[in-house]
Structure 1
Amino acid sequence: MKENLSKDNKKLLLIDDDPNLILLVKDYLEFRGYNVATAENGREALEVLDRHIPDLIICDVMMPEMDGYALVKHIREEPTTNKIPVLFLSAKGQSQDKVKGLNEGADVYMVKPFEPEELVAQVESSLNQIKRWEQGRPRSLDGAPSIKVPHNVELTPTEIKVVQLVAKGMANREIAEKLNVSQRTIESHVSNMLNKTSLNNRTELARWSIESSMA
C-alpha cells in the first residue's frame, strides 16, 4: 500500500534519459504519494508541459535532443512555467558544475548517485517553500488564492476565444488546431494575456476567466 503522506496529489515531472533511473525514482516518489509524469529528454518534456503543468520538475542535466540547461532556459522564459521549481540531477559534482546549474535557473542541484530519501527531502523542501509563499497571499472564501487582475484589462475577441478554451483544459496545440492557427500564435496570445492580467500561469488565467464568467 502506498504512503499518502499528505502530498495533496502533487504532480512531478521527472526527466532523464536513463530508463533504470526513471523506473527507480518514479516508483519511489509514487510510493511516497506523488503523481509522477516522465520524459526521456528536454524536447519530450516540453510536449508534456504543453499538456500539464507540474508542481515541480526533476531533470537530468546531460541528455540527448535537449539537455537540462536548454530545457530550464526555455522553462524560465515562458510565463506559464517560469515559477515551477526545478531540481537538477547530475553526475558532475564539482563546485563549478553546481554553480553553473544554479546560475542557469535550477533551484536545487543534486549529484548522482543520491539516496532516495535525500531526493524526497529536497522535493518536499521546495514544495513547502511554495506553500509558505502562497499562504502569504490573499485568499478567497473557498480557501484558494484569490485571482486579482488590473480593473482595466481588455481582451481582444481572439484572446477571449483562446482563454475560454484554456479554461476547458485544452493544450496550446489543441487550441491552435481548433482555431486553425499556429501553436506559436496561441502561445503569443497566452503570453499577452498573462502580461495584461499580471497572472503567473495558464491555471490562474483559466480560473480568472471562469470567475469573471468569460468561460
Structure 2
Amino acid sequence: MKETPQTDSKKLLLVDDDPNLILLVKDYLEFRGYEVLAAENGREALELLEQHTPDMIICDVMMPEMDGYAFIERVREKPQTSWIPFLFLSAKGQSQDRVKGLSKGADVYMVKPFEPEELVAQVESSLQQAKRLMTRSQGTETESTLHVPEGVELTPTELKVVQLVAQGMKNQNIAVQLNVSQRTIESHVSNMLTKTQLKNRTELARWAIESRKA
C-alpha cells in the first residue's frame, strides 16, 4: 500500500529513456507522496510541459531525439519554466560531466547507480530551497501589487539573468556563471527595471517568480 500523499503534494517530471528506471523511480517517489509524470526523452518532456507545470524536473543526460543538455536549455530559456528546480540523473560521472551539467543550468547532478533515499533527500532539499527563495523574493512586499506594463519582452540573455536573480544570486556571481563582466549584468538588470518599471532587484525577482504562474 502506498504512503498517503502530503496535503501539498508536489508534482515531479521524470525524464529517462530506460523504462525500468522510470518504473522504479516513479514507484519510489509516488510511495513518498509525490505525483510523478514521466517522459522518455526531452522532446516528449517538452510536450508535457505545455500541459503541466511540475515543481521539479529529474532528467537523464543521454537520451534519443533530444538529450538532457538540449532539454534543459529549452527549459531555462522560457520564463514559464526557467524557475523549475532541475536534477540531472546520469551514468556519466566524471568531473567534467558534472561541471557541464551544472553549467547548463542544473541545480543538482547525481550519478547512477544511486541510493533511492539520497534521491528523495535531494528532491526535498531542492523543493525547500525553491520555497525559501520564493519567500525571500516576496520579502516585506507580499501585500503590495506589482504593476508591470503589458507586453514586456525580455531578450534571451535578460531571461537568463532574471532567472538567476530570482534564485537569489548576486550580479557578481551571475557574471561568473554567464562568463561576462559584472558591468554587463548590471546593465541588463538596469534595462529590465526600465522595461518593467519596477524599483529594485527584489521586485524584479518577485515578478519573475510570479510570472511563471501566468
Opposite residue 28 of structure 2, the aligned amino acid is Y
CA contact (8 A) 1:61 1:67 kept: yes
- What is residue 112 of structure 2 aligned with on the other side? 112
Q: In structure 2, what is the equivalent of residue 149 of structure 1?
A: 146
Conserved in 1, the CA contact under 8 Å of 2:80 and 2:213? no
SS in 2 for 1:110: strand
Kindly state the Cα deviation for residue 154 of structure 1 after the two structures are TM-superposed: 3.8
Conserved in 2, the CA contact under 8 Å of 1:13 and 1:54? yes
- 2:213 equivalent to 1:204: yes
Aligned pairs for 1:1-215 (under 5 A) are: 1-4=1-4, 6=6, 8-138=8-138, 148-150=145-147, 153-154=149-150, 198-200=207-209, 204-205=213-214
> Residues 65 and 202 (structure 1 numbering): CA distance in 2 closer, same or farther, change over 3 Å?
farther
Name the Cα RMSD after superposition: 2.5
String of CA shifts for 1:130-150, please: whole Å, max 9, x gaps: 12222334489xxxx668322
Partners of 1:51 and 1:86 lie apart in 2 by 18
Structure 2 residue runs of 5 or longer lacking an equivalent are 153-194, 198-206
> What is the CA deviation profile of residues 27-73 of structure 1, one whole-angstrom value per residue up to 9, with x for unaligned ones?
00000000000000000000000111100000000000000000001
Aligned partners of 1:129 and 1:90: how far apart in 2? Answer: 22
Give aligned-pair identity as a percent: 64
CA contact (8 A) 1:13 1:56 kept: yes
Contact 1:7 1:34 in 2 (8 A): no
Residue 91 of structure 2 aligns to which amino acid in structure 1?
Answer: A
**Amino acid paired to 1:113:** P
TM-score, scaled relative to structure 2: 0.68
Between the aligned partners of 2:122 and 2:48, the Cα distance in structure 1 is 23
How many residues align? The count is: 162
Opposite residue 136 of structure 2, the aligned amino acid is: G
Distance 2:82 2:212 in 1: 13
Paired position in structure 1 for 2:184: none
Per the alignment, residue 187 of structure 2 pairs with none
TM-fit CA distance, 1:104: 1.0
**Contact kept? 1:139, 1:146, Cα under 8 Å:** no
Counterparts of 1:113 and 1:7 in 2: how far apart (Å)? 31
Cα distance in structure 2, aligned partners of 1:59 and 1:147: 37
- Contact residue 12 and residue 56 of structure 2 kept, 8 A: yes
Alignment CA distance shift 1:132-1:90 (3 Å)? same
Aligned equivalents of 2:20 and 2:97: distance in 1? 24
CA change 1:147–1:86 in 2 (3 A) is: farther
> Aligned to 1:106, what secondary structure does the other structure show?
coil
Cα separation, partners in 2 of 1:35 and 1:202, compared to 1, 3 Å: farther
SS of corresponding position for 2:36? strand
User: Residues 34 and 111 (structure 1 numbering): CA distance in 2 closer, same or farther, change over 3 Å?
Assistant: same
Taking structure 1 as reference, are residues 138 and 105 closer, same or farther at Cα in structure 2, changes over 3 Å only? closer
